[in-house]
Structure formats: C-alpha cells, structure tokens
Amino acid sequence: MKILVLLLGLVLGSAFAGYAVPRVQVQLSVEPTTQAFTCRYTFALPAGDTTTVLRLNLRKAFRVQRVQGGRAIVQTRRLYYPYFADTMQQVVARYPAGRQARMLTLDYTGTLDKERTTAAQVLEFSGHTNWLPFRHLQEYEVVEYALGVRVPAGYQVRSTSPPLGAKPGYFRFEGRACALELTAIIAPQFWQAVASRGPAIAVVKAGAALSPMEAAILPKAQDIVAFYNRTIGRQDSITRFTVLLTGTKQDAFAVLENATVITYADNFDVAQRGDLLTLAHEISHKWWGYGSVHDETDWLNEAFATYSSMLYLQARGDTAGYRQNYEKLAKTTPNTPPIIGFDRTKYESGMYRRVVYNKGMVVLAALHAHVGTQQLYTILARTAAQQVSTTSAFLGVVGQVAGAETRTWLQARLSE
Ligand SMILES: [Zn+2]
C-alpha cells in the first residue's frame, strides 16, 4: 500500500506540474496616445502557505496609489536591485501568524518606455518591459494569472495565448507564466500567418502587415518545432506556439508559455544563420526555463537553449554552422570559473555570458561527444519533462540514462 501511494505520488507529481503556485490578477488600462497606463495587481499565495513576509518589487518610476494587504502591516522602502542595476521600490507586507489568506494588491500608474512603443502605435507590455511587480529575487517564479486589458475603441490586444473573451475595448487572458512574463501587445491592427497543418504555430505582427522576410519565420518555426518535438521535447511536445513581432526594439526573448517575443523592427531574417539560431534558441526555452537567473542554475536555461539551437543546425546538415558557432563561443571560455558555484555578482558583467551560455554549451557538446546523439536526446528529453531546476538534479538524470561513470565525469567538467 505504501508503495502504491508512493508510486501514485510520483506519477501524479510528474504528470501534472499542477503544484500550487501563487495566483496573480492584473487589470491593465492603457492610453496609447500618451503611453500612460494604470494597473491593479493582486498577488495571492496558495492556500496554506503561511509565509509571514511578502515583498513585492516594482520599478521606482511607477507611482503607487494604493496598497491593500488585508491584516498585514505594510511598509514601502527603496532598495538597490543588482539584477536590473537599478533602485526599486519594495512593498513589504508582514502578516500575523495563522492560516488566513495572504494577498497583496497594488494600484499603480506609469508610462511605458519610449523604446517599447512604435510610430504605428504599438505598445509592448512584455517580459522585458518590466511593468509588473514581482517577489524579491523571484521574477521568474511560476504563477497562475488572469490578465484583463482595457484599451480605447479601435485598439486590439494580443498575448501568448488567444483571448478568452474580447468585448470591444476589453481583452481577457489566462495562463501559467513566470511572474514578469505576462504579455499584452497593443496595436490598432494585427496581421498573422498561421500553420495550416501540424502544431498550431502562428506568427503575429503588430501594427503592420508581415513582410516577406517576416512571413518566412513561419515555415522555419514549424521546422524547428518538428525537430524539437522528435528530440528534446518528445516527452512534452509543443502543440501550440506563437511568435509575436512588435517592431519595437532589437530584442528577442522567450516566455514559458509556448511563445517568443521578437521585437526587431523589420530586419529579423531567418535566412541568416544568426537569426535562425536565435529563433531556435528562443523556441527551445519552452523546455529550458526552470533555472534561476540569480545563480549557476541559469546554465540550465541558457546553455541548454544555446546548444539546442546548434543541435537543430547540425540536424539540418549545417555542420559548418555548428562548428563555426562552437568555435566562436568556445574561444571565450578559457580562464573562466567553474559552472558549479558560479556567482555572477563576483565578476564583471561579461563573465556571465562566457560561463552561463558559452562554457555551459561547451560542456554539453562534450557530453554529446561522450554519450552519442541518441543518448544525449534521451537525457535532454527527460531533463525537459522533469523541469529540472538544479545542476545536481541534472547530474541525476545523466546518471540514470548514461551511468555513474558519465555522471562523475560530467561533474568534474562542471567543476573545472
Ligand atoms: Zn536564452
């Protein structure tokens, strides 16, 4: 019986990632002509979470109008936040002991940065806009959210998933995402190219029609997703994916919710190897998003996404491209500290990329050579399905698939 219960627990635990996470409700109202917005943000801990101090950080430029914390004692202070290299305002709510619900609501106003808007009246509220509060040092914690967006007549809103209800001027979305990654792209019009077969992949462009160069993203995204679904994603495959093009900035980043935001103006060209690698890198973050940006475990995000994009090149026969990218990144890695124990705050900012992206990629390439392609795919697929978030858990997967000797060998590579 005990074994049955244990097994059931394991099965349920791995089948649903349905563990209790905080719930977030956001009501955003936007005035596109001035880029001003108001936001009501409610953060609620899961029932039974008796954390007594809740800290929400918010950009200092935003004006907090009201804070409601139920029975909590609430204070506001400023602190320097190294990850953004900026001072932030922090709302601290101290809850009395007991089992009552812990909730905190902030009403605030602000203006979207110029660089997140365009002349075509596109406004980008995204994972890189930094428009939301987040728990101290947990900007990428997973939350369940409901997002309502109010816009003037004549504007539309798109997000990482289709709207649940759209009345004129009001759009509603729900999902599970990292705390900072709730997305609302606002524009008078959107154009899209949608896959007619296979996974539901869409390329959505805000403000203007897709150029031929942008339309070419769709077949490439389909090809990349098909490759990943056979390899790294075969235990947890992509059935739906959205590429959001905003034209706001030279920036590309992924979000946990089967989407990537590519903000390039009009020059994102997947016929070029560099942009193709970027697209493949961002799509693979669907699986590589469970490490923390604050410690060594970020290599489980960035090195894995970097190497996944190179595996795609290799599988498509561009071995010269694979080699060239490998050499370019590998030559930055001599005389860098080990991945295990890496603390980005102890080095100049460039060291982060050299260790977390480049050296991590070199280690994965070495693992590839050590175990072969088929076993590497098995390791990556299992790591992805288990949403591995620590280096030791990854070493555990390597040990299960490839044996104790490989595990010991890899641990040594990560420690040098
Ligand atoms: Zn990345």
**What DSSP string describes 36-70?**
EEEEEEEEEPPTT---SEEEEEEETTSEEEEEE-T
Residues in the chain: 416
CA 343 from chain centre, in angstroms, equals 21
What pLDDT is recorded for position 4? 38
Q: Which of 70-79, 92-101, 305-314 has the highest mean pLDDT?
A: 305-314
Distance 366 CA to ligand 1 centre (A): 20
Distance 381 CA to ligand 1 centre (A): 18
Distance 74 CA to ligand 1 centre (A): 36
Distance 305 CA to ligand 1 centre (A): 6
What pLDDT is recorded for position 210? 93
Query: 53-85: per-residue pLDDT in tens?
Result: 999 999 999 999 999 998 899 999 999 998 888
What value does the mean pLDDT take over residues 235-244?
93
| Mean pLDDT, all residues of the chain | 91
Distance 252 CA to ligand 1 centre (A): 9
Distance 217 CA to ligand 1 centre (A): 18
Distance 126 CA to ligand 1 centre (A): 15
What pLDDT is recorded for position 265? 67
Distance 247 CA to ligand 1 centre (A): 20
Distance 286 CA to ligand 1 centre (A): 10
CA distance 130 to 182: 10
pLDDT score of 9 more than 70:
no
Distance 25 CA to ligand 1 centre (A): 27
Domains in the chain (CATH in brackets) are: 23-94+104-188 (2.60.40.1730), 191-283 (1.10.390.10), 296-414 (1.10.390.10)
Of the chain, the end-to-end C-alpha distance in Å amounts to 45
Distance 413 CA to ligand 1 centre (A): 22
91 membership: H or E segment, kind and range: strand 86-94
Distance 302 CA to ligand 1 centre (A): 5
Lookup: tokens for 123: 């406004």
Query: 186-228: per-residue pLDDT in tens?
Result: 999 999 999 999 999 999 999 989 999 999 999 999 999 999 9
pLDDT confidence tier of residue 7, bands split at 50, 70 and 90? very low
Distance 362 CA to ligand 1 centre (A): 16
What pLDDT is recorded for position 195? 95
Question: What is the Cα gyration radius of the chain?
Answer: 22
pLDDT confidence tier of residue 12, bands split at 50, 70 and 90? very low
Of 210, 153, 154, 147, nearest in space to 184 by CA: 147
Choose the weakest-confidence range: 141-145, 257-261, 326-330: 257-261
Query: 181-190: per-residue pLDDT in tens?
Result: 999 999 999 9
Query: 275-287: per-residue pLDDT in tens?
Result: 999 999 999 999 9
What pLDDT is recorded for position 307? 98
pLDDT score of 351 more than 60:
yes
Distance 298 CA to ligand 1 centre (A): 9
pLDDT score of 356 more than 70:
yes
CA distance 239 to 345: 38
What pLDDT is recorded for position 303? 98
Q: What percent of the chain has pLDDT over 90?
A: 79
Distance 257 CA to ligand 1 centre (A): 14
Distance 153 CA to ligand 1 centre (A): 36
Interacting residues of 45 by C-beta distance below 8 A, sequence separation 6+: 22, 51, 54, 101, 102, 103
What value does the mean pLDDT take over residues 364-381?
98
Distance 72 CA to ligand 1 centre (A): 38
Lookup: tokens for 272: 């070029």
Q: Strand pairing of 63-68 and 170-178? A: unpaired
User: Is the CB of residue 258 less than 8 Å from the CB of residue 206?
Assistant: no
Distance 281 CA to ligand 1 centre (A): 6
Distance 278 CA to ligand 1 centre (A): 8
Residue spans of beta strands (DSSP E) within 98-209: 103-111, 123-125, 134-135, 142-150, 156-158, 165-167, 170-178, 184-187, 190-194, 200-206
Distance 280 CA to ligand 1 centre (A): 10
Distance 282 CA to ligand 1 centre (A): 6
User: Is the CB of residue 72 less than 8 Å from the CB of residue 94?
Assistant: yes
347 or 267: which carries more pLDDT confidence? 347
What pLDDT is recorded for position 79? 96
Distance 34 CA to ligand 1 centre (A): 32
pLDDT confidence tier of residue 264, bands split at 50, 70 and 90? confident
pLDDT score of 11 more than 50:
no
Identity of the amino acid at 306: T
Distance 276 CA to ligand 1 centre (A): 14
CA distance 141 to 137: 9
pTM for the structure as a whole: 0.89
Distance 279 CA to ligand 1 centre (A): 10
Look at residue 170 and give its three-state secondary structure: strand
Task: Determine the longest span between alpha carbons in the chain, in angstroms.
Answer: 65
Region at 69 (left for phi over 0; alpha for psi -120 to 50; beta for the rest):
alpha
pLDDT score of 6 more than 80:
no
CA distance 324 to 310: 10
What residue has token string 């001072």? 87
Interacting residues of 78 by C-beta distance below 8 A, sequence separation 6+: 60, 87, 88, 89, 90
